Amino acid sequence: MTAQTTKTELSHAEQACAEGESALTRGDTAAAEDHFTKALDLVGTAAPGGAAGGTGGGPDAEGVARVAARAWTGAGRVRLARGETADAEAEFERARALRPAAAGPLHWLGCAAAHRGDLAAAERHFTASLACAVPHGRSLVQRAYVHARAGDPDAALHDLRAAALISPLDDEARWLDAALSGRSAREVALRLRRAALASLADSGPGGGADWKRAGELTAAARGLDQEPWPAAPLYAVALVRGGRRSAAVALLGDAVRHDPADHRVTHALAVCLLNSAQEPGGSSWERCVAAWAAVLHDAGFWEHVLTGAARRYGVAVDPALVPALRAGLREVLERHMPDDAEAGTRVAPGPLLQREADAAQLLAAVGGFPSAGGGGAPLFCGPLRIAELGRSAEFGAFAVALEESFTAARAQPSAYASTAAAPGMYASLTYAFSELGFAQLLLGQDKASDALAALSELRCPGCRARGGPGAAAVCEPACGRFDELNPGYAGVPHKHLRLSLDARGLALEARLHMGRSEMTSARPDFGAAAAYWRRALVHSRELDRYRETQTAIVDMALGAARAAHHDGRLSLAVATLDATRSVIGANERARLEGQLARVLADRGISVANDEEALLDQPAADLRRSVALNPHLLRAQVSLGIVLRGLALARWSSGSLSGARATLREAVAQLTAALAHFPDDPDLEELRVAVIADLDHIMWQPDESEQ
């Protein structure tokens, strides 16, 4: 201390100490340190016992020592809150040297000794504090903690009961009293939880020590009481901020199993898992994906989001924004998903999230899945959440009942209009809640080849290891994981066969899609397209869908050919129809041949009208056109004209025999055409002209014959 300390400075120092203690209560150790440093600057930092007081009306030495000790004690508390126990003890010793008879420095020396595990020293300091003229208010309780840690419950109880006579115990002291008094584990856990909440109520911007203590108390309570807790997300936050993230995940997981429809718990679990370190085997990423998919399509969650936004910004928020908000959240999540190599999951987290979210959306479209066996709030989730809850068999029964209701609705004509989309919805829901969901997703993204690859292996890892490369793609009938991986089929009779047949159906769709893609690409590969469609037809026979598949292939080919024809790409149209005709049976071939006849006629006429073109190719096109459809008058007339022109060209080139043969073909063709179109003037006139040409040429000498 210095002789220059004035009453004003001492008053300011006392105010700085008060503000520092207030900052410590809030948990703001940085602000507290600044205030205590300011107080020490005001009163000076000379060695204890030095001259104090001043002249000219300055404060007495006792007042300066009291404020300085208070400041050193506060500085030590800052160090102790930061875990710097040795430095804290040094500050407390300075305070004790200034005021040896004061209880405060002794009490905090006891706390520091307890922090470093020296229980004997801690007990001595607390006892000394209690022997002071004015004991510290917390020394009895703190000595009770020391006695409890030292294994002396009777002494701890004695101190707690003595403290309770002086002032009411806080929540933390009450749980210790309950534990030492032999109360039930549940009651002790309840008092631990209250103590944790009390420590949270005092936390502030820098309150790491309070969060840590709250986490410790919550973890201790969880160890005593494994039953579901109310306000689980709040306790989970305490655990996370207290450095116990795995305990938070376990707490929230139990809460989700207790009430899976509570979006607040599911959202807290989703956030916690997304920010957690990856667990071995990728299980954390699968749980993370399952939780986020359940949140994305939960109407209660989005209502909560809109209400919170309206309260925050003071304006009503239009519910029409939800789809855009959902899409944005999904994009953010997909960006956070690691590669499959990093995640270690069976399926990469990105596609897994897409499958789960799409399945949740489809489930929401049918009203959700009851959260309890007898009903309960609906769940909007994907198959991973269903399996995690252990409700695959219930979901399978739910899917079967849904199918039966759709079937009954279709059987009622009056109700058909309102349920026309139901069969497709049911099929999509069933596929989505199974291993087929990935192939269905890829097909929807126009990735048919990837979908086909996904369908090649639908077994769990165990069945795959046992089955070898030549085994079927579906799990064995005795497999215990079939229902877990395929909740949509878990109640279906002959579920393994049903899944296998549905997989063939998706493979059929994939091959049809691949054939169409090859045929309509910028550089079509008609051979590959025909190969895909042949394989699709093989699948269709096994599924009793042969005629349906033939019709689909022909429809695709006709559509592609019409588009090419409209664009003037006649050769492309011909090649498209020819390739399709090579794989289609007789019952659907007539539709192709009718269109092919028209395209061939158009191409033949178009080329024949080019004065510089040879007529051999147009003649071949028109011959094929007439052979495919002899009732196409335009093709019949055009073929007669082209054959006559071709004969004249051969005569001009010196091939009299070639001209005669072509004219004879023309006469025969026109005669056959008149059988289909009797008395047609164009055909009659053309036939007369060709016969005249043939008579004239017959009398001409052929130099090649001489």
542 to each of 387, 514, 530, 545, how far by Cα in Å?
Answer: 32, 20, 19, 8
Of the CA atoms within 13 Å of residue 653, those in its CB half-sphere come to: 12
At residue 345, φ and ψ (nearest 5 deg) are -90, 165
Has residue 94 got a pLDDT over 90? yes
**pLDDT tier for residue 224 given thresholds of 50, 70 and 90:** confident
Q: Is residue 373's pLDDT more than 70?
A: no
- Overall size of the chain counted in residues: 706
What pLDDT, on a 0 to 100 scale, did the predictor assign at position 266? 93
- The sign of the CA dihedral 562, 565, 566, 569 is positive
Out of 275-289, 405-419, 454-468, 506-520, least confident range = 405-419
Distance CA 392, CA 404 (A): 18
At 81, list the tokens. 């809150």
Query: pLDDT at position 173, please?
Result: 76
pLDDT tens digits for range 267-309: 999 999 988 755 544 458 888 999 999 999 999 999 999 999 9
Which spans in 521-632 are helix H? 526-542, 546-566, 570-581, 586-608, 616-628
The percentage of residues in the chain with a pLDDT greater than 90, rounded to a whole number, is 26
Over residues 631-682, the pLDDT tens digits come to 999 988 988 898 888 888 888 887 788 888 888 988 898 999 999 899 889 8
Query: Which of 179-183, 415-419, 544-548, 701-705 is predicted least confidently?
Result: 415-419
Instruction: Report, as an integer, the average pLDDT of 518-545.
Output: 88
The pLDDT of residue 45: 57
Longest dimension (CA), the chain: 155
CA separation, residue 59 to residues 46, 62, 326, 421, 625 (Å): 16, 8, 68, 91, 122
What pLDDT, on a 0 to 100 scale, did the predictor assign at position 413?
52
Q: Which of 21-35, 305-319, 423-437 has the lowest average pLDDT?
A: 423-437
Cα–Cα dist 563/26, whole Å: 75
According to the model, what pLDDT value does residue 344 have? 59
Query: Does position 174 have pLDDT exceeding 80, yes or no?
Result: no
* Whole-angstrom distance, CA of residue 535 vs CA of residue 510: 11
**Share above pLDDT 70 across residues of the chain, in percent, rounded to a whole number:** 88
Torsion of CA 181, 186, 190, 196, to 10 degrees: 90
Q: Tell me the backbone φ, ψ of residue 154, rounded to 5 degrees.
A: -65, -45
pLDDT tens readout for residues 327-370: 999 999 988 887 765 555 667 788 888 899 999 998 998 889 99
Please tell me the predicted confidence (pLDDT) of residue 47. Answer: 42
Contacts of 520 (CB under 8 A, 6+ apart): 560
Quickly state the pLDDT bin for 99 (edges 50, 70, 90). very high
- Tell me the C-alpha distance between 248 and 154, whole Å: 34
State yes or no: pLDDT of 571 exceeds 80. yes
Q: What is the mean predicted confidence (pLDDT) over 206-229? A: 72
Q: Quick one: average pLDDT of 25-32?
A: 85
Region 10-15 average pLDDT: 91
Q: Is the pLDDT of residue 706 over 60?
A: no
pLDDT of residue 703: 57
Specify the higher pLDDT residue, 164 or 578: 578
* Nearest residue to 50 via CA among 108, 109, 4: 4
pLDDT band at 38 (very low <50, low <70, confident <90, very high): very high
pTM of the model: 0.66
Per-residue pLDDT at 183 exceeds 50: yes
Residue 370 has phi, psi (to 5 degrees) of -55, 135
Q: Quick one: which of 131, 62, 125, 55 has its CA closest to 89?
A: 125
d(CA 31, CA 20): 7
> What is the pLDDT at residue 470?
52
**pLDDT value, residue 3:** 46
Is residue 258's pLDDT more than 60?
Answer: yes
The strand pairing partners of 246, in sequence order, are none
Average pLDDT rounded to a whole number, residues 90-103: 93
DSSP-assigned letters across all residues of 251-301? HHHHHHHH-TT-HHHHHHHHHHHHTSPPPGGGHHHHHHHHHHHHHHT-HHH
Whether the CB-CB separation of 232 and 255 falls below 8 Å is answered with yes
Distance between CA atoms of 21 and 285, rounded to whole angstroms?
Answer: 44
Instruction: Say if CB 475 and CB 459 are below 8 A apart.
Output: yes
pLDDT value for 34: 94
Q: With 80 as the cut, is the pLDDT of residue 428 above it?
A: no
- The stretch 213-219 carries a mean pLDDT of 80
pLDDT bracket for residue 165 (50, 70, 90): confident
**What is the mean predicted confidence (pLDDT) over 597-613?**
86
